[in-house]
Structure 1
Amino acid sequence: MDNKDRANDMGSKPFETTGPRHSTSDLEKAEVEVGTTVQLQRRLKSRHLQMIAIGGTIGTGLFIGSGGALANAGPAGALIAYIFVGTLVYSVMVALGEMATYIPISGAFTAYAARFVDPSLGFAMGWIYWFSWAITFALELTASGLIIQYWSPELNIGIFIGVFWAVITAINFLPVSFYGEVEFYFASIKVLTVIGFLIFGICIDAGAGQHGYLGFHTWGNPGAFAPHLIENNIPLAKFVGFWAVMIQAGFSYQGTELVGIAAGETANPRKTVPAAIKKTFYRILLFFVGAIFFIGLLVPYDNEDLLTGTTDAASSPFVIAAKLAGIPVLPSLINAVLLTVVLSAANSNVYSGSRILVGLANERCAPRILTRTTSGGVPYVAVAFTAAFGLLGFMNESSNGGTVFNWFVNITGVAGFISWTCIGISHIAFMRALKARGVSRDTLPYKAWGQPWFTWYGVGFNILIILTQGFTAFIPWNTSNFFVAYVSLILFAVLYLGHKIVFRTKFVKPIEADLDTGRKEVDEMFFEEHVPTTWYGKLGHWLLG
C-alpha cells in the first residue's frame, strides 16, 4: 500500500471509532493519586469557556491602556485601529476553532504548531506565549495597586501586589470547576461594567451630563485623528498615530484565543468550542469597539489626564469620562469596578499560562514535572511556576514604575501578535495535512468560511505589524524603545533557532502530520447533554451557551 492509499485509508472516516464509549462523568470518578501525571479533567462548560476568554481579554488594555490609544490616534484613528485588529483576531479565532474542535487537547495551539509545522516552532511559540501571559500577570497585579492608589496616593502598591498575588495563586490551585465558577462571576462583572458604560455613554452624549448634548463634538474639536510624532506632514502624522496604536489594540484583544487553550478541559468540545468561539468573539468585538467609540465621543484626545503619561486609574478614559460628565460619585465607583476587572484578568493569566506549560510538557518541550496534577486535575507545578513570575510586579515600586508598565504592555502585545501568526501558520499546515490524507473539510466538526484566504490575510498583516510596530524608536532613535519593541521577536528567534540547532528538527510533511492523537480519545467519549425546557432556561442557554 503506497502513501496515498494509506492516507485515504486513515482519512476516509475521521470520526469512526471502535471499542467502548465512555461517559466523561465515569472517567472523572476514577481515583487519581495526588502528584501523578494525568490528563486534565473535562469539567468546563460553554459558559465557563466564554467567560474565561472574556475574563482574560477585558482588562488593563481596555480600561486603562485605551486612553493611550485615544491620545495617540484620536477617536476615529483608535476606532479604526481596533476594528482592523478585530478582523485579525477573528481570522485567528476561526482558524483555531477548526483545529481545537477536531483535536481538542491540553495546551492546544502550541501543540498544533509542533504537530503540523515544525517541533521547533511549537517549542518557540509555546514559550513566547507562556512568557506573554506570565508578564501580563505581573502587569495586572501592578494595575491593581495603581488603581487602589487612586484613593490614597501615598499607599505602597507593593502591599497590594503581594496580597492579590497570594489570593489569585490560591484560586488557581483549586479544582478547575471551582476556578471556572469564580471566573464566570468575575467576568460577568466585566460584561455588566462595559454594558453599563455603553448605556452611560449614550446618555451623556445625548445630553444627560453637565455639558448638555455632545454628539460628535470631539470629532470636530480637537479632531477625529490625532497627529503623532511627525510635525511637517499632518496627513502622514495622522496615519502614524493610527499605526502606532496597533500593539495597544492587539494587547487589548489578547486572550480571545483562550477558548482554544481550555479545549482540553471542556465537556463536549466538538459542540461547546465552536459556540464559544462565535459568541466570545462577537461579544468582545462589540464591547471593545463600542467602548472605544463612546470614549472617543466623551473624552477629547488632548485631555490633560490622557496626556500625563501616567498608568494609574486617573488616566483611565472611563474615569475621565465620568469626571467630565460632572457626576461626583461615579469615578470612584468605576475605579472600584476596575479593580475587580483587573483581578479577573490576572486570574485568567495564571490559568492560561499554566495550561500552556502543560501542553509544552506533553509535547516534550518542557520538563515532564510540569504535567503533575492534584487529585482534582490541577497542574500544581505549572500553576506555581507561572504564578512566580507575577512577583515581577514589584519592579513597579521603583520611581520608573510607569516606564516598566509600558514595557510590559509592549512586550506582551508583540508576543501576542507572534502567537496569532503561529496559529495562522499552523492552520495553513493543518489544512494541507487534511488534504494530503484525503479528509474533506466538510467533515470537520467546525468549518470556517473563507479558507485558506482568510487565514493568509491574518498571517500577512500580523507579520507586517510585528516588523513595523517599533518604528517610533527611530523617530528619533531611542535604544531603550527599540529593545522594548523587538525583544519579544528576538526572544522568539533565539528559542526557535536554538531548538532547531540543538535537536535538528525537520519541517513536518503534510502526509506525516499527526491528526489522530487527542482526536480518537474524544471520539470514544460520550457526552451527556442537558437541553433546557423552560423559557428562562432556553434564554440563559442562548445568552451563555
Structure 2
Amino acid sequence: MSSKDVSITGVEPTGQYGDVEASRASDHDGDFLTQLEDNNLARGLQQRHIQMIAIAGAIGTGLFLGLGGSIQTGGPLGALLGYATVGLIVCAVQFALGEVAALLPVTGSFVRHAEFLVDPAFGFAIGLNIVYGNLLSVPAEISAICVLFQYWTDLNPSVFICIFIVLTFLVGISFVGIYGEVEFFFAALKILLVVFLIIFGLVIDLGGIPGQERIGFRYWKTKGPFVEYIATGAWGQFLGYWAVMTNAVFSFAGVESLAMAAAETQNPRRNIPKACKKVFARVLIFYILAVLIVGMIVASDDDRLNDYSGTATQSPFVIVASAAGINAIPSVVNAVVITSAWSSSNQALLSGTRVLYGLAIKGQAPKIFLRTTSWGVPYVCVLFNTAFMFLAFMALSSNAMTVFWWLVDLTAAGVLISWSAVLVNHIRLIQAMKKQGIPHSALPFHNSWTRYSSPIALFMCITILLTGGWPTFTKGNWDSASFVSAYLDIPLVLAAFLLWKYIKGTKFVSLADIPIKEALEEVDRHVEPAEPKKTGLGRVLGFLWD
C-alpha cells in the first residue's frame, strides 16, 4: 500500500458571487471538496450503487425479524402508524440531506456540513459519535451472523466470526467500486425477498394456500387494532404506538449514510439528491406494506413471536409459512438475513472510515488516517476499524444474543442524533441564505416545503430520543442496563462537544459569515454532465434504481 500526499489545500472561490482573496480559502479549509479528496479518493460509486446502498442499509434484521415484536407492542394498527410516522421523519431527513449534500458533496457528509454551518465542535461531536457507533456496529452485525448460522449448524461460532471479519476487511480495503457492486447485489436480493414475502403474506391472508382458510382482517377485529402497553385504555394504546416508533427508528437506520462517500460518487450533486428522493419512496413502501401484511397474518398475542433465538424462527413470515407446511421459507429468510447483517457491517465500515477520514481532513483526528492506497481507499482508517471487529468474539459466550442486543442498544440513540444533525444543518443553511439574501432556489437541489418539514422532524427526533427509555421510568420496570443503553449516547455527544469547544475555543458560525456564495460558486465551476439516456437492457433493469 502506498501512502499519498496528505497536504490539504483549500479551493479558491471566484466567479459570479465576486472575487475572494486566496487567503479566505484558509478560513474554511476542508469545508469544500479538498484537493486531497479529489486526488486521493476514487469516484467508483455510480448512481445505481448509492441508490441500492441506502436501500441495503434500511432493509435488514429490523424488517425481517423485528416486525413481529412491533406488532406485539403496538398491535397491527399501532405498528402501522408507528412506522408511518417514522417514515415521514425519514422523508424530511432525506430531503434535508439531499439539499445540503448537493451543495457540499464532501467525504463525511453531514459531519463536515455541521462544522461548516453550525460549529466546529458540533461537527467533531457528531463525527466522533458516528465513528464510535460504527466501531461497535460492525462486531454487533458479525455476532448476529454467528447466531443466525446456529439455525443450520452447531459448528463453533468462532469459525464464522473469522470468516466474516476477513470478508468484511477485504470489501473495505478493496476499490470502492467493488464495495458498490457487493452492496448492489445484496440489496437486489433483499428487495426481491421483501417483494416475495409481501406477495406471499397476501396469498396466505386471502386463503391461497391449500388447506388454509382466509384470514382477512380477522386479527384486527378479534385482538383489536391496538395493544395496550404498560398502561390501560387509550393511554396504554398510545404508549404502544409510541414504543413502536423507537423500534422503527432502528429499522430505518442507514438511509442517512448514502452521502458519506460523496467524494467517491460520480456526479454527486445529481446522484445524491436523486438517491434521497427515490430511496425514501421505496423503503417507505416496503415497510408500510410489510407491516400491514404482518399485522393481517399474525395475531399480536401469538406466543411464537416470543422466540428470541435471533434466527429466522421468530420472523412472522416464517411462523405463518411453517404453519402452512412450507418448510423451505425459514432457510431462505435466514440466508437473506445473514446477507443483510453482512451488508450492514460493510456499510458501517464504509461510513465509519469515511467519517474518520473527514475528521482527519479537518484536523480533528490524527493525520495518519489520511493515508490512502494507490486505488484510493483510506487504509489506515480501515485497519483501525478492523481491529474493533474482534469484539465479535464476545458472542462466543452462551448468551450471544444478549451481546448482540447490548451492542445494538448502546448505539441506537446515535441514529436519532445523526438525523437531528442533518436537520439542524439544513435549518442553518436555510437561515443563512435568508440572512444573506440568497434565494432558496439557488441551491442545486431544493424543495419549497423542506423549510417547514425540517423543524417539525427535528422536534420529533429530539422527542423520540429523550423518551427512548421511558418504560424504565414506569412502576416496576426499572432496568439499569436499558436506561444506560437508551441514554448513554446523549452525554457522550455533549461531552465531546463541550470538550472540543473548551480546548479549541470554537464559536458558533455566524449566519452572515457562512460562505454560501463561495459554495455556490463551486457548483458553477464544476458543472456535472447531463444524465445520459438509458437504452436497451439498461433501461429495462433500471427500474430498480431510477
Conserved? CA contact 1:143–1:342, under 8 Å: yes
Q: 1:303 to 1:509 in 2, by over 3 A?
A: same
TM-superposed CA distance for 1:41, in Å, is: 2.1
Matches within 5 A, 1:442-457: 442-457=441-456
**Aligned residue in 2 for 1:74:** 75
Find the aligned partners of 2:18 and 2:339 in 1 and give their Cα distance. 43
Does residue 293 of structure 2 align to residue 291 of structure 1?
A: no
1:360-409 Cα distance to aligned partner (Å, 9 max, x none): 21222212221211111111111222233232222222233333322223
Deviation of 1:16 after TM superposition, in Å, equals 11
Q: Show the counterpart of 1:99.
A: 100
- Structure 2 equivalent of residue 350 of structure 1: 349
Unaligned segments of structure 2, at least 5 residues: 1-12, 21-34
The answer to whether the 8 A contact 2:44-2:175 is kept is: no
The equivalent of 2:158 in structure 1 is 158
Instruction: Give the superposition deviation at 1:483.
Output: 0.9
User: Paired residue for 1:409?
Assistant: 408
Matched, 1:237 2:236: yes
> Could you say which residue in structure 2 is the equivalent of 1:49?
50
Which residue pairs with 1:123 in the alignment?
A: 124
Q: Please, which moves more after superposition, 386-395 or 512-521?
A: 512-521
- Does the 8 Å CA contact 2:312/2:330 hold for their aligned counterparts? no
Check conservation: 2:201, 2:317, Cα contact below 8 A: no
Closer, same or farther in 2 for the Cα pair 1:258/1:16, shift >3 Å?
farther
Does the 8 A contact of 2:98 with 2:445 survive in 1?
A: yes
Question: Cα distance 1:402–1:533, how it changes in 2: closer, same or farther (>3 A)?
Answer: closer
Secondary structure class of the residue paired with 2:255: coil
Contact 2:147 / 2:400 at 8 angstroms: preserved in 1?
no
Provide the C-alpha distance between the structure 2 equivalents of 1:15 and 1:110, rounded to a whole number of angstroms: 28
1:526 Cα deviation after fit:
5.6
Moved more, 504-513 or 393-402: 393-402
Match of 1:175 in 2: 175
Q: Write the letter of the residue equivalent to 1:410.
A: D
Matches within 5 A, 1:59-70: 59-70=60-71
Q: Shift of the alpha carbon at 1:196?
A: 1.0
Query: Structure 1 residues 95, 530: CA separation in 2 closer, same or farther (over 3 Å shift)?
Result: closer
Q: Which amino acid aligns with 1:214?
A: I
The residue aligned with 2:185 is 185
**TM-score, length-scaled by structure 1:** 0.89
1:460: which partner in 2? 459
Which secondary structure does the structure 2 equivalent of 1:469 belong to? coil
Give the 5 Å matches for 1:326-345: 326-345=325-344
TM alignment of 1:113-512, pairs within 5 A: 113-152=114-153, 154-209=154-209, 210-230=211-231, 233-475=232-474, 476-512=477-513
- Assess, with a 3 A threshold, how the Cα gap between structure 1 residues 542 and 334 changes in structure 2: closer, same or farther: closer
1:12-65 deviation line (CA, Å, top 9, x unaligned): 946999xxxxxxxxxxxxxx99xx995422221110111111112211222222
The residue type equivalent to 1:343 in the other structure is W
Between stretches 209-218 and 412-421, larger displacement belongs to 209-218
Does the residue aligned with 1:225 lie in a helix, a strand or coil? Answer: coil
TM-superposed deviation, 1:521? 5.3
- In the aligned structure 2, how far is the partner of 1:464 from the partner of 1:129? 20
Match of residue 544 from structure 1: 545
Counterparts of 2:307 and 2:333 in 1: how far apart (Å)? 20
Report Cα offsets for 1:67-113 as digits up to 9, x if no partner. 32222222211111111001111111111111100111111100111
Report the alpha carbon displacement of residue 11 of structure 1 after superposing the two structures with TM.
11
8 Å contact from structure 2 (residues 109, 260) kept in 1: yes
Q: Counterparts of 1:220 and 1:11 in 2: how far apart (Å)? A: 66
Task: State the distance in 2 between where 1:518 and 1:180 align.
Answer: 28
Q: Secondary structure at the match of 1:227?
A: coil
Return the offset for 1:470.
Answer: 0.7
Distance in 2 separating the partners of 1:533 and 1:183: 22
3-state SS of paired residue (1:257): helix
Q: Which residue of 2 aligns with 1:22?
A: none
The one-letter amino acid of 2:342's match is L
Distance in structure 1 (CA, Å) of the matches to 2:542 and 2:311 = 38
Structure 2 CA distance, aligned partners of 1:529 and 1:535?
A: 19
- 8 Å Cα contact 1:147/1:313 also seen in 2: yes
With 485-494 and 126-135 compared, the bigger mean Cα shift is at: 126-135
Whether the 8 Å CA contact 1:41–1:377 is kept in 2: the answer is yes
Cα gap change, 1:533 to 1:287, in 2 (>3 Å): closer
Query: 1:274-318, CA deviations, whole angstroms, 9 ceiling, x for partnerless residues?
Result: 211111111111111111221221222222221244433322233
Task: Work out the percentage of aligned pairs sharing the same amino acid.
Answer: 38
**CA distance 1:503–1:150, shift in 2 (3 Å):** same
Contact 1:59–1:342 at 8 Å: present in 2 too?
yes
Name the CA distance, whole Å, in 1 between partners of 2:396 and 2:236. 35
Residue equivalent to 2:6: none
Aligned pairs, how many? 517
Kept after mapping to 2: 8 A contact 1:81/1:249: yes
| Shift of residue 530, structure 1, vs aligned partner | 6.0
Q: C-alpha separation between the residues in 2 aligned to 1:69 and 1:387?
A: 33
Q: Aligned AA for 2:64?
A: F
User: Cα 1:94–1:174, aligned 2, differ >3 Å: closer, same or farther?
Assistant: same
Secondary structure, in 3 states, of the residue corresponding to 1:301?
Answer: coil
Structure 2 match to 1:26: none
- Measured against aligned partners, the alpha-carbon deviations of 1:141-192 in whole angstroms (never above 9, x if no partner) come to 122111111123x333332122112111111111011211121111111111
Counterpart amino acid of 2:137? T
RMSD: 2.5
**Judging changes above 3 Å, is the alpha-carbon distance between structure 1 residues 221 and 244 closer, same or farther for their aligned structure 2 residues?**
same
Q: d(CA) in 1 for partners of 2:498 and 2:98?
A: 29
| DSSP 3-state at the match of 2:373 | coil
Flag the 1:146–1:364 CA change in 2: closer, same or farther, 3 A: same
**Amino acid in the other structure paired with 2:482:** N
Match of 2:10 in 1: none
CA distance in 2, matches of 1:436, 1:384: 44
Does the 8 Å CA contact 2:119/2:508 hold for their aligned counterparts?
A: yes
Q: Which SS does the other structure have where 1:378 is aligned? A: coil
Q: Does structure 2 conserve the Cα–Cα contact (< 8 Å) formed by 1:58 and 1:190?
A: yes
Per the normalisation by structure 2, the TM-score is 0.89
Equivalent residues of 1:175, 1:376 under 8 A apart = yes
Name whichever of 261-270 and 94-103 sits farther off. Answer: 261-270
For the residues of structure 1 that align with 2:18 and 2:185, how far apart are their CA atoms?
36
Looking at structure 1, the residues matched to 441 and 500 of structure 2 have their Cα atoms a distance apart, in angstroms, of 36
Q: CA contact under 8 A between 1:248 and 1:413: conserved in structure 2?
A: no
How far apart in 1 are the matches of 2:429 and 2:71?
38
Q: Residue in 2 aligned with 1:24?
A: none
Q: CA deviation at 1:220?
A: 2.3
Which amino acid is 1:474 matched to?
Answer: F
